[in-house]
Amino acid sequence: MSSGRSSLPTLQALPQGDDHLREDCTASRHAYQGRFLQIRQDDVRLPDGSTAFREYIVHPGAVMVVPLLDDGRLVMERQYRYPTHRAYLEFPAGKLDAGEPGIACGVRELFEETGFQAAEWAYAGELHNAIAYSDERIEIWFARGLVAGERQLDAGEFLDVFVATQDELSGWIADGTVTDAKTLIALLWLQQWRAGRWALTWKPASAWDDGR
Amino acid sequence: MSSGRSSLPTLQALPQGDDHLREDCTASRHAYQGRFLQIRQDDVRLPDGSTAFREYIVHPGAVMVVPLLDDGRLVMERQYRYPTHRAYLEFPAGKLDAGEPGIACGVRELFEETGFQAAEWAYAGELHNAIAYSDERIEIWFARGLVAGERQLDAGEFLDVFVATQDELSGWIADGTVTDAKTLIALLWLQQWRAGRWALTWKPASAWDDGR
Protein backbone atom coordinates (compact mmCIF):
# COMPACT_ATOMS: atom_id res chain seq x y z
CA MET A 1 0.00 0.00 0.00
CA SER A 2 1.25 3.46 -0.85
CA SER A 3 -0.13 6.88 -0.11
CA GLY A 4 -3.01 8.63 -1.79
CA ARG A 5 -0.66 11.10 -3.51
CA SER A 6 -0.53 8.49 -6.13
CA SER A 7 1.84 7.57 -8.90
CA LEU A 8 -1.03 7.01 -11.31
CA PRO A 9 -0.36 8.19 -14.85
CA THR A 10 -2.12 11.10 -16.45
CA LEU A 11 -4.19 10.43 -19.57
CA GLN A 12 -1.36 11.82 -21.69
CA ALA A 13 1.03 9.22 -20.21
CA LEU A 14 -1.24 6.28 -21.06
CA PRO A 15 -0.85 4.34 -24.30
CA GLN A 16 -2.24 6.33 -27.22
CA GLY A 17 -5.41 4.97 -28.79
CA ASP A 18 -7.69 2.12 -27.77
CA ASP A 19 -5.93 -0.89 -29.30
CA HIS A 20 -4.97 -2.39 -25.92
CA LEU A 21 -8.62 -2.18 -24.80
CA ARG A 22 -10.51 -2.94 -28.00
CA GLU A 23 -13.06 -5.74 -28.30
CA ASP A 24 -13.52 -7.13 -31.80
CA CYS A 25 -16.77 -8.69 -32.98
CA THR A 26 -16.51 -12.31 -34.09
CA ALA A 27 -20.26 -13.03 -34.36
CA SER A 28 -23.41 -10.96 -34.04
CA ARG A 29 -27.02 -12.01 -33.85
CA HIS A 30 -30.39 -10.42 -33.43
CA ALA A 31 -31.70 -11.56 -30.03
CA TYR A 32 -34.90 -9.58 -29.44
CA GLN A 33 -37.20 -7.38 -31.48
CA GLY A 34 -39.94 -5.78 -29.44
CA ARG A 35 -42.23 -2.97 -30.44
CA PHE A 36 -39.71 -0.35 -29.30
CA LEU A 37 -36.64 -2.18 -28.07
CA GLN A 38 -34.15 -4.22 -30.01
CA ILE A 39 -31.35 -6.33 -28.54
CA ARG A 40 -28.27 -7.84 -30.16
CA GLN A 41 -25.92 -10.48 -28.78
CA ASP A 42 -22.32 -10.45 -30.00
CA ASP A 43 -19.29 -12.63 -29.40
CA VAL A 44 -16.13 -10.58 -29.05
CA ARG A 45 -12.41 -11.14 -28.91
CA LEU A 46 -10.79 -9.42 -25.93
CA PRO A 47 -7.38 -7.71 -25.96
CA ASP A 48 -5.70 -10.85 -24.54
CA GLY A 49 -7.25 -13.07 -27.22
CA SER A 50 -9.88 -14.60 -24.95
CA THR A 51 -13.54 -14.37 -25.84
CA ALA A 52 -16.56 -12.75 -24.20
CA PHE A 53 -20.25 -12.17 -24.76
CA ARG A 54 -21.88 -8.75 -25.19
CA GLU A 55 -25.61 -8.00 -25.10
CA TYR A 56 -26.94 -4.53 -25.86
CA ILE A 57 -29.84 -2.35 -26.93
CA VAL A 58 -29.74 -0.90 -30.42
CA HIS A 59 -31.26 2.57 -30.16
CA PRO A 60 -31.99 5.19 -32.85
CA GLY A 61 -30.67 8.05 -30.70
CA ALA A 62 -32.52 10.98 -29.19
CA VAL A 63 -32.47 14.73 -28.74
CA MET A 64 -32.94 16.89 -25.65
CA VAL A 65 -33.92 20.55 -25.98
CA VAL A 66 -33.15 23.12 -23.28
CA PRO A 67 -35.60 25.97 -24.04
CA LEU A 68 -34.72 29.42 -22.65
CA LEU A 69 -37.33 32.14 -22.28
CA ASP A 70 -36.28 35.75 -22.92
CA ASP A 71 -36.21 36.37 -19.16
CA GLY A 72 -33.75 33.51 -18.68
CA ARG A 73 -36.22 31.04 -17.22
CA LEU A 74 -36.39 27.45 -18.46
CA VAL A 75 -39.28 25.59 -20.06
CA MET A 76 -39.59 22.16 -18.46
CA GLU A 77 -41.96 19.21 -18.47
CA ARG A 78 -43.44 16.86 -15.93
CA GLN A 79 -44.03 13.47 -17.47
CA TYR A 80 -44.89 10.03 -16.12
CA ARG A 81 -42.21 7.48 -16.93
CA TYR A 82 -43.62 4.03 -16.58
CA PRO A 83 -40.47 1.91 -16.01
CA THR A 84 -39.94 3.49 -12.58
CA HIS A 85 -43.62 4.24 -11.96
CA ARG A 86 -43.30 7.93 -11.28
CA ALA A 87 -43.31 11.35 -12.92
CA TYR A 88 -40.08 13.21 -13.70
CA LEU A 89 -39.26 16.88 -14.10
CA GLU A 90 -37.21 17.02 -17.29
CA PHE A 91 -36.43 18.93 -20.45
CA PRO A 92 -38.27 18.12 -23.69
CA ALA A 93 -36.79 15.17 -25.51
CA GLY A 94 -37.64 12.56 -28.05
CA LYS A 95 -36.27 9.81 -30.23
CA LEU A 96 -34.86 10.44 -33.69
CA ASP A 97 -36.95 9.21 -36.58
CA ALA A 98 -34.98 7.13 -39.09
CA GLY A 99 -32.50 9.37 -40.88
CA GLU A 100 -33.73 12.49 -39.10
CA PRO A 101 -31.11 15.17 -38.34
CA GLY A 102 -30.90 16.12 -34.66
CA ILE A 103 -31.99 19.70 -35.24
CA ALA A 104 -35.15 18.56 -37.05
CA CYS A 105 -35.98 16.24 -34.16
CA GLY A 106 -35.37 19.05 -31.66
CA VAL A 107 -37.61 21.50 -33.53
CA ARG A 108 -40.33 18.87 -33.86
CA GLU A 109 -40.25 17.68 -30.23
CA LEU A 110 -40.13 21.19 -28.80
CA PHE A 111 -43.17 22.22 -30.84
CA GLU A 112 -45.17 19.03 -30.31
CA GLU A 113 -44.62 18.87 -26.57
CA THR A 114 -44.60 22.55 -25.59
CA GLY A 115 -46.00 24.53 -28.56
CA PHE A 116 -42.86 26.68 -28.69
CA GLN A 117 -40.91 27.60 -31.78
CA ALA A 118 -37.41 29.03 -31.37
CA ALA A 119 -35.62 31.76 -33.32
CA GLU A 120 -32.16 30.41 -32.49
CA TRP A 121 -30.67 27.03 -31.73
CA ALA A 122 -27.28 26.00 -30.34
CA TYR A 123 -25.75 22.53 -30.41
CA ALA A 124 -24.03 21.86 -27.08
CA GLY A 125 -22.83 18.30 -27.41
CA GLU A 126 -23.83 14.71 -27.03
CA LEU A 127 -24.12 12.29 -24.16
CA HIS A 128 -24.17 8.52 -23.94
CA ASN A 129 -26.52 7.52 -21.17
CA ALA A 130 -26.09 3.75 -20.82
CA ILE A 131 -22.67 2.88 -22.25
CA ALA A 132 -22.63 -0.59 -20.69
CA TYR A 133 -25.71 -1.89 -22.50
CA SER A 134 -27.06 0.57 -25.08
CA ASP A 135 -25.69 2.48 -28.05
CA GLU A 136 -28.06 5.38 -27.35
CA ARG A 137 -26.68 8.88 -27.79
CA ILE A 138 -28.61 12.01 -26.91
CA GLU A 139 -27.86 15.29 -28.67
CA ILE A 140 -28.08 18.34 -26.40
CA TRP A 141 -29.61 21.42 -28.05
CA PHE A 142 -30.42 24.84 -26.62
CA ALA A 143 -33.29 26.94 -28.00
CA ARG A 144 -34.00 30.64 -27.45
CA GLY A 145 -36.12 33.39 -28.96
CA LEU A 146 -39.16 31.30 -28.05
CA VAL A 147 -42.61 32.05 -29.47
CA ALA A 148 -45.53 30.24 -27.89
CA GLY A 149 -48.16 28.36 -29.86
CA GLU A 150 -50.43 25.35 -29.38
CA ARG A 151 -48.71 22.12 -28.54
CA GLN A 152 -49.56 18.99 -30.56
CA LEU A 153 -49.23 16.01 -28.27
CA ASP A 154 -49.27 12.55 -29.77
CA ALA A 155 -52.34 10.48 -28.94
CA GLY A 156 -51.80 8.93 -25.53
CA GLU A 157 -49.15 11.49 -24.56
CA PHE A 158 -49.79 13.34 -21.31
CA LEU A 159 -47.38 15.87 -19.87
CA ASP A 160 -47.32 19.15 -17.97
CA VAL A 161 -45.31 22.10 -19.26
CA PHE A 162 -44.03 24.65 -16.74
CA VAL A 163 -41.40 27.35 -16.20
CA ALA A 164 -38.54 27.21 -13.71
CA THR A 165 -35.51 29.27 -12.85
CA GLN A 166 -32.03 27.81 -12.99
CA ASP A 167 -31.81 28.19 -9.21
CA GLU A 168 -35.00 26.18 -8.77
CA LEU A 169 -33.63 23.43 -11.01
CA SER A 170 -30.37 23.39 -9.05
CA GLY A 171 -32.28 23.09 -5.78
CA TRP A 172 -34.43 20.25 -7.10
CA ILE A 173 -31.33 18.30 -8.09
CA ALA A 174 -29.63 18.94 -4.73
CA ASP A 175 -32.68 17.68 -2.81
CA GLY A 176 -33.29 14.66 -5.05
CA THR A 177 -36.50 15.89 -6.72
CA VAL A 178 -34.87 15.88 -10.17
CA THR A 179 -32.88 12.75 -11.04
CA ASP A 180 -33.23 12.43 -14.81
CA ALA A 181 -29.68 12.20 -16.16
CA LYS A 182 -30.11 14.33 -19.29
CA THR A 183 -31.76 17.07 -17.20
CA LEU A 184 -28.87 17.10 -14.72
CA ILE A 185 -26.51 17.45 -17.66
CA ALA A 186 -28.59 20.36 -18.96
CA LEU A 187 -27.87 22.17 -15.69
CA LEU A 188 -24.15 21.49 -16.10
CA TRP A 189 -24.26 23.07 -19.57
CA LEU A 190 -26.37 26.01 -18.37
CA GLN A 191 -23.91 26.77 -15.60
CA GLN A 192 -20.82 26.44 -17.74
CA TRP A 193 -22.28 28.48 -20.59
CA ARG A 194 -23.64 31.26 -18.36
CA ALA A 195 -20.30 31.41 -16.51
CA GLY A 196 -18.56 31.91 -19.85
CA ARG A 197 -16.60 28.66 -19.54
CA TRP A 198 -18.23 26.70 -22.38
CA ALA A 199 -19.32 28.36 -25.63
CA LEU A 200 -22.54 27.95 -27.59
CA THR A 201 -23.00 29.03 -31.21
CA TRP A 202 -26.53 30.23 -32.02
CA LYS A 203 -28.14 29.98 -35.44
CA PRO A 204 -31.64 29.66 -36.85
CA ALA A 205 -32.76 26.04 -37.17
CA SER A 206 -32.57 26.30 -40.98
CA ALA A 207 -28.87 27.14 -40.77
CA TRP A 208 -28.21 23.89 -38.86
CA ASP A 209 -30.03 21.74 -41.41
CA ASP A 210 -26.92 20.77 -43.30
CA GLY A 211 -25.45 19.26 -40.17
CA ARG A 212 -23.06 20.72 -37.63
CA MET B 1 -49.23 32.86 -31.07
CA SER B 2 -48.18 34.87 -28.04
CA SER B 3 -44.81 36.18 -26.93
CA GLY B 4 -42.02 34.23 -25.36
CA ARG B 5 -42.57 35.94 -22.00
CA SER B 6 -44.96 33.16 -21.48
CA SER B 7 -47.97 32.56 -19.31
CA LEU B 8 -46.79 29.05 -18.50
CA PRO B 9 -47.43 27.97 -14.92
CA THR B 10 -44.70 27.39 -12.40
CA LEU B 11 -44.37 23.90 -10.92
CA GLN B 12 -46.10 25.14 -7.78
CA ALA B 13 -49.14 26.20 -9.86
CA LEU B 14 -49.53 22.79 -11.51
CA PRO B 15 -51.85 20.14 -10.08
CA GLN B 16 -50.30 18.54 -7.00
CA GLY B 17 -49.24 14.93 -7.38
CA ASP B 18 -49.09 12.68 -10.41
CA ASP B 19 -52.66 11.36 -10.58
CA HIS B 20 -53.47 13.20 -13.82
CA LEU B 21 -50.37 11.67 -15.46
CA ARG B 22 -50.26 8.20 -13.93
CA GLU B 23 -50.23 5.02 -15.98
CA ASP B 24 -51.63 1.94 -14.24
CA CYS B 25 -50.52 -1.56 -15.09
CA THR B 26 -53.28 -3.88 -16.31
CA ALA B 27 -51.04 -6.76 -17.46
CA SER B 28 -47.33 -7.52 -17.25
CA ARG B 29 -45.29 -10.23 -18.93
CA HIS B 30 -41.71 -11.29 -19.13
CA ALA B 31 -40.62 -10.68 -22.74
CA TYR B 32 -36.87 -11.36 -22.82
CA GLN B 33 -34.30 -12.92 -20.53
CA GLY B 34 -30.79 -12.65 -21.83
CA ARG B 35 -27.57 -13.26 -19.98
CA PHE B 36 -27.48 -9.68 -18.65
CA LEU B 37 -30.59 -7.93 -19.91
CA GLN B 38 -34.20 -8.54 -19.02
CA ILE B 39 -37.23 -6.96 -20.69
CA ARG B 40 -40.83 -6.71 -19.60
CA GLN B 41 -43.88 -5.75 -21.64
CA ASP B 42 -46.81 -4.20 -19.79
CA ASP B 43 -50.27 -3.02 -20.79
CA VAL B 44 -51.21 0.21 -19.05
CA ARG B 45 -54.28 2.35 -18.57
CA LEU B 46 -53.63 6.00 -19.43
CA PRO B 47 -55.06 8.99 -17.55
CA ASP B 48 -57.93 9.33 -20.08
CA GLY B 49 -58.88 5.65 -19.72
CA SER B 50 -57.32 4.57 -23.01
CA THR B 51 -54.72 1.83 -23.11
CA ALA B 52 -51.08 1.72 -24.15
CA PHE B 53 -48.13 -0.63 -24.31
CA ARG B 54 -44.87 -0.21 -22.37
CA GLU B 55 -41.64 -2.13 -22.90
CA TYR B 56 -38.66 -1.68 -20.59
CA ILE B 57 -35.42 -3.04 -19.21
CA VAL B 58 -35.44 -4.34 -15.64
CA HIS B 59 -32.06 -3.38 -14.17
CA PRO B 60 -30.55 -4.11 -10.73
CA GLY B 61 -29.18 -0.58 -10.35
CA ALA B 62 -25.60 0.62 -10.23
CA VAL B 63 -23.14 2.79 -8.35
CA MET B 64 -20.66 5.42 -9.57
CA VAL B 65 -17.73 6.44 -7.39
CA VAL B 66 -15.99 9.81 -7.77
CA PRO B 67 -12.57 9.26 -6.10
CA LEU B 68 -10.72 12.35 -4.91
CA LEU B 69 -6.98 12.31 -4.24
CA ASP B 70 -5.62 14.39 -1.35
CA ASP B 71 -4.34 16.97 -3.85
CA GLY B 72 -7.86 17.37 -5.29
CA ARG B 73 -7.25 15.43 -8.48
CA LEU B 74 -9.69 12.80 -9.70
CA VAL B 75 -9.13 9.09 -10.29
CA MET B 76 -10.67 8.11 -13.60
CA GLU B 77 -10.79 5.13 -15.94
CA ARG B 78 -10.55 4.52 -19.64
CA GLN B 79 -12.66 1.53 -20.62
CA TYR B 80 -13.86 0.06 -23.89
CA ARG B 81 -17.64 0.00 -24.13
CA TYR B 82 -18.68 -2.41 -26.79
CA PRO B 83 -22.20 -1.16 -27.70
CA THR B 84 -20.74 2.01 -29.25
CA HIS B 85 -17.40 0.42 -30.22
CA ARG B 86 -15.14 2.87 -28.47
CA ALA B 87 -13.40 3.60 -25.19
CA TYR B 88 -14.78 6.13 -22.69
CA LEU B 89 -13.16 8.24 -20.01
CA GLU B 90 -15.38 7.72 -16.98
CA PHE B 91 -15.52 7.30 -13.23
CA PRO B 92 -15.48 3.83 -11.67
CA ALA B 93 -18.90 2.20 -11.64
CA GLY B 94 -20.56 -1.15 -11.43
CA LYS B 95 -23.83 -2.96 -11.07
CA LEU B 96 -25.32 -3.79 -7.69
CA ASP B 97 -25.31 -7.43 -6.71
CA ALA B 98 -28.68 -8.71 -5.53
CA GLY B 99 -29.53 -7.09 -2.21
CA GLU B 100 -26.21 -5.23 -2.02
CA PRO B 101 -26.25 -1.79 -0.38
CA GLY B 102 -24.92 0.99 -2.60
CA ILE B 103 -21.98 1.76 -0.31
CA ALA B 104 -20.83 -1.87 -0.38
CA CYS B 105 -20.95 -1.87 -4.17
CA GLY B 106 -19.03 1.41 -4.27
CA VAL B 107 -16.29 0.13 -1.95
CA ARG B 108 -16.03 -3.10 -3.95
CA GLU B 109 -15.94 -1.51 -7.39
CA LEU B 110 -13.45 1.17 -6.39
CA PHE B 111 -11.08 -1.44 -4.98
CA GLU B 112 -11.49 -3.99 -7.76
CA GLU B 113 -11.07 -1.51 -10.60
CA THR B 114 -8.49 0.93 -9.16
CA GLY B 115 -6.98 -0.71 -6.07
CA PHE B 116 -7.94 2.27 -3.91
CA GLN B 117 -9.58 2.14 -0.51
CA ALA B 118 -11.15 5.30 0.90
CA ALA B 119 -11.22 6.65 4.46
CA GLU B 120 -14.40 8.65 3.87
CA TRP B 121 -17.44 8.34 1.68
CA ALA B 122 -20.25 10.79 0.85
CA TYR B 123 -23.57 9.98 -0.78
CA ALA B 124 -24.44 12.69 -3.31
CA GLY B 125 -27.66 11.45 -4.86
CA GLU B 126 -29.08 9.24 -7.54
CA LEU B 127 -29.68 9.54 -11.24
CA HIS B 128 -31.97 7.74 -13.65
CA ASN B 129 -30.20 7.39 -16.95
CA ALA B 130 -32.81 5.98 -19.34
CA ILE B 131 -36.22 6.86 -17.92
CA ALA B 132 -38.07 6.06 -21.15
CA TYR B 133 -37.05 2.42 -21.30
CA SER B 134 -35.15 1.26 -18.20
CA ASP B 135 -35.69 1.33 -14.45
CA GLU B 136 -31.95 1.71 -13.85
CA ARG B 137 -30.86 4.08 -11.12
CA ILE B 138 -27.25 4.95 -10.41
CA GLU B 139 -26.17 6.03 -6.95
CA ILE B 140 -23.51 8.77 -6.92
CA TRP B 141 -20.85 8.38 -4.23
CA PHE B 142 -17.74 10.42 -3.49
CA ALA B 143 -14.67 8.84 -1.92
CA ARG B 144 -11.66 10.58 -0.33
CA GLY B 145 -8.75 9.74 1.93
CA LEU B 146 -7.59 7.31 -0.75
CA VAL B 147 -4.95 4.68 -0.09
CA ALA B 148 -3.55 2.84 -3.08
CA GLY B 149 -3.28 -0.93 -3.34
CA GLU B 150 -3.41 -3.58 -6.04
CA ARG B 151 -6.50 -3.63 -8.19
CA GLN B 152 -8.35 -6.91 -8.69
CA LEU B 153 -9.90 -6.85 -12.15
CA ASP B 154 -12.44 -9.51 -13.02
CA ALA B 155 -11.29 -11.99 -15.66
CA GLY B 156 -11.82 -10.41 -19.06
CA GLU B 157 -11.89 -6.89 -17.63
CA PHE B 158 -9.45 -4.44 -19.19
CA LEU B 159 -9.27 -0.80 -18.20
CA ASP B 160 -6.78 2.00 -17.70
CA VAL B 161 -6.70 4.01 -14.47
CA PHE B 162 -5.40 7.58 -14.57
CA VAL B 163 -5.52 10.91 -12.74
CA ALA B 164 -7.07 14.11 -14.02
CA THR B 165 -7.78 17.58 -12.71
CA GLN B 166 -11.30 18.95 -12.59
CA ASP B 167 -10.29 21.52 -15.23
CA GLU B 168 -9.11 18.76 -17.53
CA LEU B 169 -12.40 16.91 -17.10
CA SER B 170 -14.33 20.11 -17.82
CA GLY B 171 -12.32 20.71 -20.97
CA TRP B 172 -12.84 17.13 -22.19
CA ILE B 173 -16.60 17.52 -21.81
CA ALA B 174 -16.61 20.89 -23.58
CA ASP B 175 -14.70 19.48 -26.55
CA GLY B 176 -16.72 16.26 -26.78
CA THR B 177 -14.00 13.86 -25.57
CA VAL B 178 -16.05 12.84 -22.53
CA THR B 179 -19.71 12.01 -23.22
CA ASP B 180 -20.59 9.39 -20.59
CA ALA B 181 -23.67 10.73 -18.82
CA LYS B 182 -22.77 9.67 -15.27
CA THR B 183 -19.33 11.24 -15.65
CA LEU B 184 -20.82 14.55 -16.84
CA ILE B 185 -23.06 14.48 -13.78
CA ALA B 186 -20.03 13.87 -11.58
CA LEU B 187 -18.59 17.16 -12.83
CA LEU B 188 -21.87 18.92 -12.00
CA TRP B 189 -21.64 17.59 -8.43
CA LEU B 190 -17.94 18.45 -8.13
CA GLN B 191 -18.58 22.03 -9.20
CA GLN B 192 -21.59 22.53 -6.98
CA TRP B 193 -19.93 20.95 -3.98
CA ARG B 194 -16.62 22.80 -4.36
CA ALA B 195 -18.51 26.09 -4.87
CA GLY B 196 -20.31 25.45 -1.57
CA ARG B 197 -23.73 25.24 -3.23
CA TRP B 198 -24.48 21.56 -2.62
CA ALA B 199 -23.44 19.78 0.56
CA LEU B 200 -21.80 16.39 1.03
CA THR B 201 -21.69 14.51 4.33
CA TRP B 202 -18.54 12.41 4.81
CA LYS B 203 -18.37 9.24 6.88
CA PRO B 204 -16.34 6.03 6.90
CA ALA B 205 -17.90 3.32 4.74
CA SER B 206 -18.81 1.33 7.85
CA ALA B 207 -20.97 4.21 9.12
CA TRP B 208 -23.03 4.11 5.90
CA ASP B 209 -23.68 0.39 6.14
CA ASP B 210 -27.06 0.76 7.79
CA GLY B 211 -28.29 2.74 4.83
CA ARG B 212 -28.57 6.46 4.34
Query: Going from the N-terminus, what domains does chain A have, and what CATH number goes with each?
Result: 17-57 (no CATH), 62-205 (3.90.79.10)
CB A57 to CB B54 under 8 A? no
Reported as a single tens digit per residue, the pLDDT across A112-148 is: 999 999 999 999 999 999 999 999 999 999 999 999 9
CB A184 to CB B188 under 8 A? yes
**At residue B211, does pLDDT exceed 60?**
no
Q: Which of A22, A110, A133, A191 to mutate to test the interface with B (most CBs of B within 10 A)?
A: A133
The shortest C-alpha distance from B2 to chain A (Å) reads 5
Report the residue from A1, A41, A80 with minimal CB separation from B21: A80
Whole-prediction pTM: 0.95
Partners of B44 on chain A (C-beta within 8 Å) are 82
**At residue A1, does pLDDT exceed 50?**
no
- pLDDT at position B94 is 97
CB A87 to CB B42 under 8 A? no
Looking only at the bridges linking them, the beta strands covering A86-90 and A74-81 are antiparallel
- pLDDT at position A3 is 43
SS3 state at A99: coil
Confirm or reject contact between B147 and chain A (CB < 8 A).
Answer: yes
Question: Between residues 76 and 115 of chain B, which touch chain A (CB distance below 8 Å)?
Answer: 76, 78-84, 86-90, 95
* Per-chain mean pLDDT for chain B: 94
- pLDDT at position A156 is 82
Q: B89-126: b or e for each residue (b if 16 or more CB lie within 10 Å)?
A: bbbbbbbbeeebbbbbbbbbbbbebbbbbbebbbbbbe
Looking only at the bridges linking them, the beta strands covering A137-147 and A62-67 are parallel
Confidence at B212, pLDDT banded by 50, 70, 90: low
ipTM above 0.90, yes or no: yes
Question: CA-CA distance, A80 to A93, in Å (whole number)?
Answer: 13
Reported as a single tens digit per residue, the pLDDT across A146-156 is: 999 988 888 88
CB A162 to CB B8 under 8 A? yes
- Kindly list the distances between the CA atom of residue B40 and the CA atoms of A168, B3, B43, B137, in Å, as whole numbers in the listed order: 35, 44, 10, 17
